[in-house]
Each structure stands twice: as C-alpha cells, then as structure tokens.
Amino acid sequence: MKHINLGIVAHVDAGKTTLTEAMLYKSGILRKLGRVDERNTFLDTDEQERERGITIYSKQAQLMLGDLHITLVDTPGHVDFSAEAECVLQVLDYCIIVVSASDGVKGHTLTLWSLLNSYGIPVFIFVNKMDQPGALKNNIMEVIKKKLNENCFDMSGQFKEENSGNLCFTREEAEDIVMSDETLMEEYIEKQDPEILNNTRITCLIKERRFFPVFFGSALRGEGINELINGLKYLTLEDIYPEAFGARVFKITRDSNGNRLTHLKVTGGSLKPKALIGEEKINQLRLYSGEKFETLAEARAGEIVVATGLNNTRIGMGLGALNRENTPVIEPVLCYRVKATDGTDAAVLLSYLRLLEDEDPQLVVEYNENTKETEVRVMGEVQLQVLTRTLKDRFGCDVFFDTGGVLYKETIGSAVEGVGHFEPLRHYAEVHLLLTPLQRGSGISYDTVCSEDILNRNWQRLILTHLKERIHKGVLTGSPIADMKITLLTGKASVKHTEGGDFRQATYRALRQGLMSTASILLEPYYYYRIELPAEFVGRAMTDLERMNGKPSAPEPEGDMAVLTGRAPVVCIRNYSAELTAYSKGLGSISLSLAGYDECHNPDEVVESIGYLPEADVKNTPDSVFCAHGAGFIVPWDKVREYMHVESPKYISLDGKYADLNYEAEEASGSVKYNTIEKGDLKSQTVQSIGTDEIDAILNRTFYSNSDSSIKTEMEKRKGVGAKKGKVVSTGGKINDPYSDYKYNPIERKKKYMIVDGYNVIFAFSELKSLAAVNLDAARDRFIDIMSNLQGAIDAKIILVFDAYKVKGRTTDLNSIMNIKVVFTAEDETADSYIERFAAENGRKYDVTVVTSDKAEGSVAYGSNCHLMSARALEGFIDSVIKNIMDDFYAGNREEKVRIKVDIEGEIPDKK
C-alpha cells in the first residue's frame, strides 16, 4: 500500500479546515460533515480554536483511499502561527496549498509558497470558494501563474470520473506543459504526440517541482473534492527510505495526563517501543488521528508517529542517522515583558513559560539578568492572547504584558577586518576575521581562507565553532547581527601556552572589534500588507501608509472596493487594523505577512531610546589583552592594530573575486577598503609569467603538506589535470593570484571514510589491551579519544563500530561523539557484518579504508574495492601523525620563541 504524508496550508480564512473536513467525509472517516462556524470540526479540538474559528495547533488524521494511505496534517493559517506551520513542512512528502477564489494570492500565501520551495516539497493547489459570485477560473489561473509559478496547470478536468489516472491533454495543453522540461520538449517536437504526457511523466514532474496541478471547487459544498482525491491517488509517489534508522522531530506536546509527547517522522529503518534514543528509552509509540490514537508495535520509515518517554528532544532535532538539526526560517519579531498579576513568583512563572516554549516553536522566552525581568518573543498580538489564555487555563496564572516592541537586528555597510588578541600570562591566541555584508535575509555564513601552514586545521575548526556557538550582538543597540559573512583570514597560536578557551576569547574580541571599526546598519522587521476597502477611503489609507513608511502601490479596483498592497515596518502598521475598521465603518480589512528585515526607518531614534553602550558591555568587549614583562594589559579596540602580532593579509581570494584589503585607506578608524574586480577584468593589467616548476613548488608547499602520500602520488601522476595554466597579475604593487582556488580542490576526489572494527583494534593495541582487561568501557572511551584526535589530522571521516549484538531489543545506534561517528550494532548483528555491509554498499562509490585484523572480514572488504589496514598498522600510523603534528607546531613556533625572548630580555637576540 502506498503511503504519503500530506499537509494542508493556506492564508487565514481560505477554507483550509473546511477542505480537511470534506476530504475526511468523502473518504468515509467522518459520518457527518463538521463546520468551523458550528465548532464541531474533527481536528480543531482545542477550546480556543473553536472559539476563535481558526487553527492554532497542527494536528493529523489518517485517510484510507483505496490503495493509498494518507497521513493528513492540518496546519494553522494565521500569520501569528506561521512557525507552527513551518515545523510541519519538515516532515511532508506533498502539500496542498489552498487559495481562496475571492481573495486570490495573498501575501501570506507567497510566504508559504516560498517556504515550500525552500523545503523542496511538491505542491497541489486547490482553489476554494468557486461557488462565490465573480469567481472566474481563467482569471484565477492567470493570477496563480503570475504570482506563484508559470508551471501551474489546471487538472480538474482530468479527474471528473474515476479513470485510473489515464491523462488526456489537448495539443495546446501539451505544448504548454512540455515547456517545463527540456528533455520532454525535445521528445514532443520529435513525436508531436500529446500521449507522451502519461501518468508516469506527470507524476515525476510533480515530484521534481516542475509541474503544479491546480484543482477548483468549493470545500463547503463538497465540489471538486473527488477530483482532488483522485489526483492524489494517481499523481503521487511514495518515497524510498534508507535502512539505517533516522527520524525528524517536528512537534512537542503533552497529553491530558501530562506525558511529554514527541511528534516525529521516521526517515529511515524502523522504530520500536523500548528502543534507545541517546540515553533515553521510548515507552510507547502512538499513531494519532484527531484526538484518538492507537499504539504501535513498530513504526516504519515514512510514518508520522508520537513517542513517549523522551524528555531531551526538541523541535527540528534529527535522530539516528539524521543528525542534522533544521533551523527555522520564520522568527518572532515582537518582544514583550511579562509579569504575574496574581502573586505568582517570578521564578515559577518563568518555569511555566519554559514549559510552553518547549512546545511552541514561535515562542522564545528570555530572562534579562540586568533588569531581572522575563521577556517573551512572539509573532503577533493573537499569539499573545492565546498565550495569556493558556497560562490561565493550564497553570491558573494571570499575567500582564507591556506594550512591547519589535526585535531589531544589525548588519554592516562595508567589509571590515576585525582583530582579536588574548594573551594574559600563560595564555595566547590571535584571530583575524573578515566581515563582509550580504543581501537581506541571508543570515550568517562562515568560511576560512587561512592556510594550514599558518594556523593548524584544529585551531581553525575551533574558531569557526566559537563563531557558531552563540548569538553575537551588534554595537548599535545590542541586537543580534545578521546578513554577513565571517571569514577567518589568519591567526596565531602558541604550542606552549594556547588552550581552547584562548581562541574563544580572541574570536569574540575579533568579531566585536570589526563591528566597532565600521559603520553598522540597524534592521527592523517588515510586513507585507494587503488592504481592501471602499474606494472612497483610498485617499485616507494612502495618507496613513505614507505616514507609516508603507510606500503603497497604485490602487487596484475590485468591484466597489479598492486594494492597496505594499510593505511597511512592523512597528508602524501592526496595530493599524483597529484604525482601519473605525474610519471605513467596518468595511475595510487588512492582512499582514512577514516580509523579512530591512533598514530601519528611524535608526537614530531607536539607538537613542535603547541607549546601548558597546564599550560598557563587559561580556562582549571589543578590546584585546596583550602581555609585556610577565603581565597582561588591555588595549582598546581602536589601538589593537598597533599591537597585533600577525600582519594582516594585503590580498585574498574570496567568493570568486579578488579582494584588495587596503588598511591605510582609513587608518584612524581601522576600517577596510574592500575592492573587488571580476576575474575577466584582469586582462587589461600588467602581466608577468610564472613557470610550471614554480607552480609545482607552490602546490607541494601548500596542498601536499597535509595530504597522505597515496594522494600525493596520485596527484603527481595526474600533474596538470587540476591546474589551470595562467598568469600572475600585478596591480599597484600587490600580487593578484589567479591560482588561489588550488588550495580548495585541485582535483575531483571521492569522499573518504575510515571504518574501524572497534573491539578488534582495542585488543590489538598494546596500551588498550591491558586497560580492557581491567575495564572494557574505559578502554573503549580511551580509543574513542585517540581516534577523535586522529580525525583532526586526516581528511577521511572516521566511523567506529562496536558489537552490541547480545543486548536484547537493541537497534543500530549511530552517535556523534566529539568529531567522529560511533556505531553500536543492533541485536543479533556483529560489527563484522555491519562493516561488511557498509563496504559492499559504499566501497565502489567512495574511498573506503577498513581497519581490522580479521582476515575473513578483510577479504570481504577487499572484494568490495576497499583499502585494508591492520590494527597494528593503524597504531603505527597514529604515532607517525602525532609526531608530524608536533614537528609542525615546533617549526611554526620559532618566531614565537624569539618574541618571548625579546619581551623578557629587552633586546633583539643574535640572528643566529
């Protein structure tokens, strides 16, 4: 039986819940059709949902349509609960987006369409309320093609009757459809036959998001529902899932008994009760349909289920093989201070809010240490009202929220280099970061262009980790930074004094010093708005919008009404609904949807009102710490460049462009003049040739320095394959090197894996064998530490496999421990069989090295095109890698020793 997970999304009042009811009724799940206005719908079970007539929480139902099993997930349509809808998108196979024939494509519809595109979800479109006057199919299709996608096609006529999915297109329809696929178009030109657009072709195009079927009807009257259901039967495909267990958490709730429920989709393998997820055991698996559920003995890949017994899961979290966590696109934009009005202790109120934060993806709770106040971040006023009622109903707590404000962000106007130095006594680290602005909505990205000859790879990874581990504040208002790329340029460590925490301090200070050294831009959230009102009030509305920095478009007439659309700051327009209703005598309406962040319309007023002092923020200081004569001293951020130990690079290659970093341009402020020219523009510059011998020498000094000999030998065989013959261009006394991309990827290489038979190697290592005789767990932990250190020095991904085949009820468990993968095999599965299966599946796709001293296991791996390494050879390899690292450290630290001697003796030592 085919199974798909199908979501339904829409802007508020488009008829999404009514469509869900109609599909449940047509499929036989419901005996009576529920209605929103009668408060008896199948999925809107919460009291607040029924009172307000809107969906607040996503819920699921099970539909059986012949050979098709659908898990149908209804989502909120109100903009205040957009984050709840986004979380559901992570687990969907297909989605229906509902468009109201009377409202058309609204701003929130565009937001949802963009989210569906970013998650790569195939979409069916249902145009609802076609029974209303003035609903013309051709006009609506024109709007949908223009605003959503030109590959939207009317399919309602294809499924008037049960036809086993046999599609029949006219020649004109076929010519429009084949334009969506180049291969299909070539075949159609050759055959001139519309029958090439069969069920299989269209189904594949839908799955690839190159064809969007559109259906028309009225959910309230049950019109067009059968056509939509038949379209889902014949135009969908079931996903193929991997054998290894994986799952994605998308929702956290609690049942009537207070049990914590983890809603998840199994994305690989299967899941059973009593299975271990990390250190927690699943007590029960439930399959929900509305408020009712049935318990499961096993959840198979593709199913959406609820697990009890898990207390450490969180929304967006990946489990098992799916260890990557999803970051939501939609974020709260409003902030309110909250206080209890019934005498509830502040700490108790905070605990209640933390509990709700765990369940609600659009709620962020923060405790301000400076003001000793609790703040909540939400999407809008409706969510705030729901939160107030929930606190009262669940915890008996009455609360008050202040007038609130918007959440600002900060970015930079031009590129800048930030320098951070941390050198109190017996500590040392220096970091240079390049901050470059990105387009709005890009978020924060990270990169490194620092050579491993200058700073060891492990230190570089540590610096990038410290950049990602926290939300960094801007210097205007202390708001989070956004829309910039942070690139590690260079840095320095001391083999004797540097510790991991030193680079944390240096990294934070470098970022902060860079922000202080350039002009920052304050960003505020914006709403898309759509105002519909009688034409006589258009002048008043446009005047108001100009006052609110709304910049409206020209009014569009729709009968006796006019429509104004545009974008306005959230702080200006969020409360405009009441004013609009008052002057339009209740005839005007406004719909809002998030439009992201852009420049603040009144930055000076905001900065002054917040009164943030960046140099007084001791937890985010831009100053550096240097050392002289055995004592550390603080250097202000604007003087750091005078004291720094590592010279800033004058030229780098970044994002395919040449960046000329001219630090003398604005010496007083320390800002960087960042000039970029495209590679094609270099032809007009003075050219100086460089020989191939010199190119080979450069490659040997950089790329080969951290590569193993086998790769180096292969490169020597293929000399010149990855290299581009070219020129070095000299401009203004600086060297612009067109070969800079060599260090990233000189030749195409397969991904490399080293998979290790854990216990086999432990009992072969002399150090670990004796430890294992006393405590096997301690030996295993020590071996994991050793391999974690090795991971930092080689470019192959390390996987350790340990037998757990005697543990009753155990499933295969894949964990990320430090920087390596550790597998504990399932019940009745040995490490040998796991490794042999891995070798058979991946030996010809990737560069796999199997480490074992088991001859039978080794022969199977060798037959699967894998490299072999014995346990004793691994021990020797580890020793040699450690020796090379220490040699590199001491060789690179000679300059450091000379500098220390100058500080102590006060004179320059002899050059010898």
Over residues 227-254, mean pLDDT: 92
Over residues 799-824, mean pLDDT: 78
User: Contact 313/249 with Cβ under 8 angstroms?
Assistant: yes
Residue labelled with tokens 């029949």: 168
So what's the pLDDT on residue 331? 81
In sequence order, the 6+-apart residues with CB closer than 8 A to the CB of 14 are: 77, 98, 99, 100, 103, 109, 128, 129
So what's the pLDDT on residue 162? 58
Average pLDDT in the chain: 81
Over residues 856-863, mean pLDDT: 80
So what's the pLDDT on residue 511? 96
Angstrom distance (rounded) from CA 69 to CA 2: 6
On the question of pLDDT at 761 being above 80, the answer is yes
Q: Report residue 886's pLDDT band, with 50, 70 and 90 as the boundaries.
A: low
So what's the pLDDT on residue 164? 55
pLDDT digits over 143-194, tens only? 999 889 999 999 888 877 655 557 888 888 888 888 877 888 888 888 887 8
pLDDT digits over 774-784, tens only? 888 888 888 98
Q: What percent of the chain has pLDDT over 70?
A: 84
Q: Report residue 817's pLDDT band, with 50, 70 and 90 as the boundaries.
A: confident
* Highest mean pLDDT (candidates 91-100, 194-203, 337-346, 680-689): 91-100
Tokens of 41: 């719908």
On the question of pLDDT at 911 being above 50, the answer is no
Residue labelled with tokens 């009593």: 274
Query: Which range, of 123-127, 225-229, 429-433, 786-790, averages the lowest pLDDT?
Result: 786-790
Q: What percent of the chain has pLDDT over 90?
A: 38
How is residue 218 annotated by DSSP?
A: B
So what's the pLDDT on residue 756? 94
Q: Is the pTM of this model over 0.75?
A: no
pLDDT digits over 209-221, tens only? 999 999 999 999 8
So what's the pLDDT on residue 724? 31
Q: Between residues 753 and 809, which one has the greater pLDDT?
A: 753
pLDDT digits over 708-732, tens only? 343 333 334 333 333 332 323 322 3
pLDDT digits over 460-498, tens only? 999 999 999 889 999 999 999 999 999 999 999 998 889
Q: Between residues 811 and 531, which one has the greater pLDDT?
A: 531
So what's the pLDDT on residue 650? 64
| Three-state helix/strand/coil letters over 59-86 | EEEEEEECCEEEEEEECCCCHHHHHHHH
Angstrom distance (rounded) from CA 147 to CA 112: 12
Angstrom distance (rounded) from CA 84 to CA 359: 10
Tokens of 169: 């297109």
On the question of pLDDT at 696 being above 50, the answer is no
So what's the pLDDT on residue 901? 36
Tokens of 9: 């999304």
Over residues 340-351, mean pLDDT: 89
DSSP 409-455: EEEESS-EEEEEEE-STT--EEEEEEEEE--TT--EEEEE---TTTS
On the question of pLDDT at 832 being above 60, the answer is yes
So what's the pLDDT on residue 651? 54
DSSP 453-506: TTS-HHHHHHHHHHHHSSPPB-SSSSPBB-SEEEEEEEEEE-TTT--HHHHHHH
